[in-house]
Chain A
Amino acid sequence: MTANAKNDETWRRVAVAVPYLWLFVFFLAPFAIVFKISLADPVIAQPPFTASFDEQGNLAASADSFRFLLTDKLYVITYLRSVLMAGGATILCLALGFPMAYGIARSNPATRNLLLLLIVLPFWISFLLRVYAWMGLMNNHGVINNFLMWLGAIDKPIQFMYTDFAVFVGLAYSYLPFMILPLYASLERMDLSLVEAAQDLGATRTRAFWDVTWPLARAGVIAGCLLVFIPAMGEYVIPYLLGGPESLLIGRVLFDEFFVNRDWPLASAVAIILLLLLVVPIVVLQRYQARDQESAA
């Protein structure tokens, strides 16, 4: 029996240790390496950065990459643009997603499952191909322009592609399901009689919405907004395919510094600052998700 108990204890340790070790090596440790390389200087070599210690064994760290990032206007503007674009896309998703989630939560159970399935389905279809679908729509000779010209509403194609507008639409389209699902979860749990009570007591529909529905849906709103905002901040594919050369976002800058300019220290510094910008939203999101899981259990 004691041998068996020991066996079980060993097994439990293994079940914790294996995934723990995996995440430590392949998720946590790499951040330390990114930080280390962000303090190196770029050189033309393989790999293209200086060692952390010189030949005499002295620490050779330089904050040049960070200094460059924070003083060069281009990078500061790109970070700001990324925050604005991701924030704008988040608001767009919320404006469209909230009434949709509300409608799904209030529909009868059979329809509700089908409607939810149609929200989840795009997740299973390639992200890249869904962005690609918009290229055919927004082209100068694309479906939207052809349709508007056929209607006679315009006589010259409108430039949709390669503009910030296209990036907005692409971000909202790709991340809309991430907004709807947490919103739906919190609206579905809401007690409808509270809204009815407010209305019986004389509240207008608008008043009942802002005083009852909105506060009760707050957890879903926050989770949904963060689930859209955080990945949108680092987005690479959408600005590359739909945006113009000047509509730079920070994810693309990181990619290009790394692959095109081969400046690994600068790319690492870009990543570290992006991570610092996202630490607060990520921690808030995790807290909401942990609370949500506890209340569901």
Chain B
Amino acid sequence: MKRQSRFILSALAFGYAFLYVPLILVVVYSFNDSRIATVWGGFSTRWYGELLQNDSILDAAFLSLQVAITSATAATLLGTMAGLALARFGRFRGRTLFSGMISSPMVMPEVITGLSLLLLFVTLQQLTGWPGQRGFSTIAIAHTTFSMAYVAVIVQSRLMAMDESLEEAAMDLGGRPLRVVFDITLPLIAPAMIAGWLLSFTLSLDDLVIASFVSGPGSSTLPMVIFSKVKLGVSPDINALATIIIVTVSLGVAIAWVVGRRATRPS
């Protein structure tokens, strides 16, 4: 392996510092005793205590978790079907439109997706009376729609990278196509489905703009509550909340990495 040039090394150092210094500072300042978030007033964990007493944040976090679990599960089901169809069913009528609809939600600016879904819900309500109230169900539908695209792409690329011979062998041995899907294909793409579920779950927890459009009065997700606080400026309890999220995510990813490395290491 050739040594990296000094220019590349400094770009790497600068780039990683750029990505991580802001996050590290949020973690450090979450232990700041001072109410003025940018002045250091000694070490304290009081903001974590205040966070646990903030009902609006806790309620919003609970709603966000419910939406994330529901939409990630629905997106995994729908996205897996779509990925299977795209990778294994060959040509079918309307395939071009289908693959276009799969890849578009991922790149569509959020303001457009949010606006168009809200106008759909309003129109549906005029025509059919449903949804009577916007909230959990409309947010979950919106999140399912953009998440399933990610699941479909992950499942599809896993299927394309996998050779079809295992499935063909099972068919040659007399397995019916449906059996083959459940006994051979699904176990093989299970890792892709898990990755898709986790990504959908995170995307749902992360979304502010689309949820702001499609939610109704009285149902605020966690990002919506955070945004309404953050609009007014830096606040110490948001630092504490951010720290909890940063630490949880980093630990989760670190564990997944160690486990993954152990699993792939040749014994």
Contact = CB atoms under 8 A, between A and B. Distances in A.
B18 A173 contact: yes
B100 interface: yes
Given A30-B117, A103-B11, A251 B246 contact: no
B79 interface: yes
B contact face: mostly helix, strand, loop, or mixed = helix
Interface string A114-152: 010111111111111110111111010111001000000
Contacts of B123: 33
Contacts of A136: 22, 25-26, 29, 37-38, 234, 239
B14 A96 contact: yes
A176 B119 CA distance: 32
Given A16-B89, A230-B109, A268 B152 contact: no
A96 B122 contact: no
Interface string B98-140: 1111111101111110011101101100100000000000000
B160 A30 contact: no
A133 B109 contact: no
A23 B78 CA distance: 10
Interface in B214-250: 223, 226-227, 230-231, 233-234, 238-239, 241-242, 245-246, 249-250
A186 B14 CA distance: 22
A66 interface: no
Interface string B36-60: 1111000000000000000000000
Contacts of A106: 1-2, 4, 8
Interface in B170-202: 176-178, 202
Nearest to A281: B107
Contact of B116 (A30, A104, A173): A30
A264 B116 CA distance: 11
A171 interface: no
A231 B104 CA distance: 12
Nearest to B78: A19
Contact of A8 (B177, B202, B223, B234): B177
B145 A26 contact: yes
A221 B96 CA distance: 26
B249 A121 contact: yes
Interface of B: 1-2, 4, 7-9, 11-12, 14-16, 18-20, 22-23, 25-26, 29, 36-39, 78-79, 81-82, 84-85, 89, 92, 94, 98-105, 107-112, 115-117, 119-120, 122-123, 126, 141-142, 144-145, 148, 152, 156-157, 160-161, 176-178, 202, 205-206, 208-209, 213, 223, 226-227, 230-231, 233-234, 238-239, 241-242, 245-246, 249-250, 252-253, 257, 261
Interface of A: 4, 7-8, 11-12, 15-16, 18-20, 22-31, 33-34, 37, 47, 96-97, 99-100, 102-104, 106-108, 113, 115, 117-130, 132-137, 139, 141-143, 146, 173, 176-177, 226-227, 230-231, 233-237, 240-241, 251, 254-255, 258, 264, 267-268, 271, 274-275, 278, 282, 285-286, 289-290, 293, 296-297
| A-B residue pairs, 3 tightest by C-beta | A234-B109, A99-B11, A30-B116
Given A16-B98, A23-B98, A226-B107, 18 more contacts: A8-B177, A22-B144, A26-B142, A26-B145, A30-B116, A31-B116, A103-B8, A106-B1, A129-B26, A129-B238, A129-B246, A136-B25, A136-B37, A141-B38, A141-B39, A143-B38, A237-B227, A278-B109
